[in-house]
Amino acid sequence: MAPPDSTRGPTPRGREFLGTAAVLSLLGATGLAALGRFRPAVALTLGASVAIVSALWLSDFLGRLAAPDRSSPARFDWKLGLKAVLRYGLIGVALWASVRAFPADVPWLVGGLSTVVAAAALEGILEHLRGRGRGTGSAP
C-alpha cells in the first residue's frame, strides 16, 4: 500500500501565510470602502483573490511535482503540465477581465496582486522578530 500523499495542498505554514494575505487584502478593501471608494475596493479584492488562488495552485503544483522520497525521481506527466498551463491561462483571463472591468483602478488591482508579497514580507519580519526575542537570531 502506498503511503498517503502528504505533499498535496498548502502546508499549515502556507495556510497561515495565505491567511495573512487574505487579512491584509480585507483590511485594505474595508478601509477603501469606508472612505466611499467602492470600485477601488472591488479592484483590490479581485487582485488579491487572483493572487491567493494562484499561490494555492502553485503550492498544489509543486506538491504534486515533488518526489515522494529522495530515491525516486520527481513526477511530471502531460496531465500535470496541461493542468498547470490551463490554470495559469485562467489566471491570465481573470486578470485581463479585471483590467477591462476596472481600467481606472489598475493600481488598486496591482496592489491586490501584491498582497501575497506583502504577506511574505510581514511573515518574514515577524519570524525575524520572534527569533530575536528568543535569542536565536543572527548576530549583527
Residue 115's nearest CA partner among 26, 30, 38, 32 is: 26
Give the pLDDT score at 70.
66
pLDDT for 46-80, tens place per residue?
899 988 888 888 877 777 776 666 666 666 677 77
pTM value > 0.85 = no
Measure the N-to-C terminal CA separation of the chain; round to a whole number of Å. Answer: 51
Give the pLDDT score at 34.
93
Q: What is the pLDDT along the chain (140 residues), one digit of tens a residue?
A: 344 444 455 666 667 778 888 898 999 999 999 998 899 999 999 899 988 888 888 877 777 776 666 666 666 677 777 888 888 898 889 889 988 888 888 899 899 889 888 888 888 888 888 887 666 555 55
Rounded Cα distance between 40 and 77, Å, is 41
Give the pLDDT score at 2.
42
User: How do the domains of the chain map onto residue ranges?
Assistant: 12-132
Q: What are phi and psi of 47, to 5 degrees?
A: -60, -45
